[in-house]
Amino acid sequence: MSQPTKQFKPFVAPESNMPELTVKSILVGSLFGVIFGAATVYLALKAGLTVSASIPIAVIAITLGRSF
């Protein structure tokens, strides 16, 4: 049994020109950087243990990026 081949259709068209560095991206990135930086410092001072905030911030950034 052979499977029918599907033609690949990209989510964003190759000829589209999307801005990458915008005021909104700078403001949201700065806000989350301050929030997660403060949370990491608080956790380090309170528990004596630090965790990397890069994974949660990446997940939140992708989720918010899709919703905007």
* Domain edges within the chain: 23-67
Q: What's the confidence (pLDDT) of residue 2?
A: 63
pTM metric for this prediction: 0.55
* AA letter at 32: F
Return the residue matching tokens 């929030």.
35
Q: What is the pLDDT of residues 12-67, one digit of tens each?
A: 888 888 888 889 888 888 888 888 888 888 877 888 776 676 777 778 777 877 77
CB contact at 8 A, 51 and 36: no
CB contact at 8 A, 35 and 29: no
CB contact at 8 A, 68 and 40: no
Burial class from Cβ neighbours inside 10 Å (0-12, 13-18, 19+) for residue 10 reads exposed
